[in-house]
A and B are shown apart, each in its own frame.
Chain A
Amino acid sequence: MVPAWVVVVVSLAYLGLLFGIAHRGDQRAAAGRSLIASGGVYALSLAVYATSWTYYGSVGRAATRGLEFLTIYLGPALAMGCSAIVLQKLIRVSKRYRITSLSDFAAARYGNSRLLGGLVALIAVVGTVPYIALQLKAVSSTFRLVSGGAVSTTDVPAYADTALYVALVLALFAILFGTAHLDATERHEGVVAAIAFESVVKLVAFLAAGLYVTFGLFGGLTDLFEAAAATPALATAVAIDGYGNWFWLIVLSAFAVLLLPRQFQIAVVENVDERHVRTASWLFPLYLLVINIFVLPIALAGLLTLGPAVSPDTYVLALQQHSALALLVFVGGLSAATGMVIVETIALSTMVSNSLVMPLLLRRPRWGGPGLADRGDLGRLVLRIRRVTILVVLLLGFGFFRITGDALGLVDMGLVSFAAVAQFAPALLGGLWWKGATRNGALAGLTAGIVLWAYTLLMPELARTGWVPESIVRDGPFGVALLRPQELFGLTGMGAVGAGVFWSLLVNVALFVGVSLAGRRTPAEAGNAALFVDIDRRTPGPGTRFYRGSVPVARLRDLLARFVGAEAAAALVTEHTARRGVPLPDEALADPELVRQVETALTGAVGPAAARALVASVADEEPLGMAEVVELVGEAQHLRELDRLKDEFVATVTHELRTPLTAIRAFTEILRDNPDLPTEERARYLEIMATETERLTRMVNQVLDLARLESGQASWQVTDVDLRSVVEEAASATAQLFTDKEVALDVEVDGPGPLAHVDRDGVMQVLLNLLSNAVKVTPPSGRVRVAVRADDGTARIDVSDDGPGVPPSDRELIFDRFRRGAAGGTGLGLAISRRIVEQFGGTLHVSDCGGDGRGATFTVGLPVPARRR
């Protein structure tokens, strides 16, 4: 055993190191050189999932319940497998709408509901405090174990309990690095860096413990397993204890890995780059796999060598016979506990301040009104609320652990926490894919789910501490056996936890769906639902808001300044004015886009429910009607699609322009670097460069043409045009091309020459394009025929060639932009030609020439003057 003072010094040194790392992380973030900008660090920080429960509790669970402990890691492995779908969407939505906690997410999705946000925050606190208590308990009891004392802490006065001091140090850490400033994104790089480091420490320490037990105390894995197999009493440790529990624990942990406050904080709020999710989708499950390899071996070794007096929850430490190793293992456990506590309290502090305290404070009208001006810096108030929350949560956790004493098991209480946050799944994850989900549905489901959770899961746990009479759990309330919490309505066979999870989630989902289907949504709810569900298809256009009101710029700016400071508020307004291009005097009314930006910025600081209330109070807003919201959301989608088309076009144009440019550059460099090239070679290169430059010019002109056509800015002079003269002019203009390639050109004009009601230059451009394509695809000594005819209301020009023809599947595609046919060229000519003739109400299409698959005929159909029809 290690002297207590050594343990204290090492623990303090370790915590000091954490402060150092977090400080460095914050410094680097401020300098723009992030420590945590990698998928690996993101995956490691996600491993905050592995707490004392994993570190000590899993072994205890394995010793008593067999392989069931693994379900808690299989669920996350499955959830991360499809993180590209679920987690990524959570991140996208949260980033775009500046959501910084679970409760804000719920509030924002369901029309900025204060009630729903408050309920989520409350459940999170109630469900998590016992879990925090267990981490403190683990630190306290392992401290006593490693320093040679009794494990139980019930006879130690509270002020002498290590856990109290650990709790205070952690509160200091969370306050220093988690609430240093009110940031619109609520990201804390220092904290994340420290958490990632803790994940490394606990993994290394646990592996060291496992390796020592397996190879030091036993002759390797097979030796250990064979020894266990020879002991019939250990058969249950390597078996599965009931498949009902097994299934529901996997479901539970798959939800928990996304919806526990600390997981949401790390996975969503602290995410630096969405692409890191890809790395984490396999690296985080791999971490969990590795940390679990030695759980069963340690449990078996404990059962084989330690007596029944030793609690299985302490096997990891109790098996270490070298004091240095024991100290390392203790530090590993400390890292597992502290990581969880730090992130959990920071996450809870955001929730409590955004969803419970601020909305309550803002109910008092004077807070939003002009009288608030003398109450200068509200941002500091928010920070103070968060700091107090952190301290209160930690002290609550410590108190809970002191009061319950040794009655609670690590894993049992942890599972109760998991089941509490799993109640968020229908409203949050369901609401991310189902637009029809309503606020009332979410409220009903969540409330019923949590009531059943309290009855079937929390109460039996509390009965162990004596807070609830044990007879209720054993015999049912008033002796009604059908209402026994762990066998509700007589349901048995899936284990106590499985049954509780089943009932609570069943009722939760049923009410969520039922009430949503039965009720109606408010316009704001419908609008937010569409923006959340279709996150990849809709961007709110400038000024997309579901409320209408008016507020002077100065008042809006002052409101923001009270939370983020005068400088940041002024910067936001200035930037908006610059983008708008028109000066915006202080007394002018703010345009909807500015109001939206201010509300989003406020959301980052105080959460969506409070932000909504604040803006509504200064702007005297009223909600829009359903029709207006639907129109706004539809418009957002339309704009988004136009944007996408434009992006595609720009990408293709740039790509096409690069080809000739590359050639020109290559030959220029050859000429520059080889001054003594033979003249004929030089001439050849210059010739190529000239050709490519020409092609480039043509392409740029065509892109400009196309842009003009598509924006409807091309100007046409539509008159009655004699097609015979146009065709003849086009033929003589291209005559040289035909002579050069020895291709014959036949022109046949029907009768005196049909008239068409078109722009002459436009038709000329189309014909030149068709003729030059035709001569390119026709082999030497072939033939190109042009025929002009008029029949019932349409004049037609056929251009037929002897080329390879156009396969039926491509007959529409060749008119797309950048779809090059056999003719080569820019790929824009046919697209432009078709658009030109369409401007005059004409058509352009291609067909076979004679149907034998050889050659193609392009037919231009043009309208004839009205009096001739």
Chain B
Amino acid sequence: MSRVRAKLIAVTALAAACFTYPLLSLFDRPTLVLGLPLVWAYLFAVWAVLVVAVAVLSRRGD
């Protein structure tokens, strides 16, 4: 298994943990942050970080 693949798996596993209970429940509160619902903004933020991380890693795999 190449290092890039191992990193991709690690990043994905971390994102999976952030997307599910119990970590997710920490953010499930009825509050607005910068005018945005906290849990909604949290999910999209983690998602965006995942996309960027996978993009960077898979480009490095060349």
Contacts and interface: CB of A to CB of B under 8 A. Distances in A.
A70 B24 CA distance: 13
B45 to A, nearest CB: 11
A548 to B, nearest CB: 37
A229 interface: yes
A246 B21 contact: yes
Contact of B54 (A235, A247, A282): A282
Interface stretch (A74-82, A112-120, A472-480): A74-82
Given A78-B16, A282-B51, A285-B51, A221 B9 contact: no
Interface string B1-42: 000110011011001100111001100101010111101100
Contacts of A250: 16, 19-20
Contacts of B30: 229, 235, 238-239
Given A81-B15, A81-B50, A281-B54, A229 B5 contact: no
A82 B9 contact: yes
B36 A81 contact: no
Given A78-B19, A84-B4, A222-B34, A238 B51 contact: no
Nearest to A280: B58
B6 to A, nearest CB: 10
Contacts of B12: 78, 81-82
B50 to A, nearest CB: 6
B24 A243 contact: yes
A23 interface: no
Contact of A226 (B19, B35, B43): B35
Given A240-B24, A282-B55, A77 B50 contact: yes
A359 B17 CA distance: 45
Contact of A278 (B48, B50, B61): B61
Given A240-B28, A289-B51, A85 B5 contact: yes
Nearest to B61: A278
A434 interface: no
Contacts of B34: 222
A224 to B, nearest CB: 9
A677 interface: no
B51 A84 contact: no
A282 B58 contact: yes
B19 A84 contact: no
The residue in A84, A226, A289, A296 that gathers the most chain B C-beta atoms within 10 A of its C-beta is: A84
Contacts of A74: 19, 43, 47
Given A84-B8, A243-B24, A289-B51, 17 more contacts: A67-B40, A67-B43, A74-B47, A77-B15, A77-B47, A77-B51, A81-B15, A221-B35, A221-B36, A222-B32, A225-B37, A247-B20, A247-B21, A250-B16, A281-B8, A281-B54, A285-B50
The 3 closest A-B pairs by CB, nearest first: A222-B35, A81-B12, A282-B55
Interface of B: 4-5, 8-9, 11-12, 15-16, 19-21, 24-25, 28, 30, 32, 34-37, 39-40, 43-44, 47-48, 50-52, 54-55, 58-59, 61
6 contacts: A77-B51, A82-B12, A84-B5, A243-B25, A285-B54, A296-B37
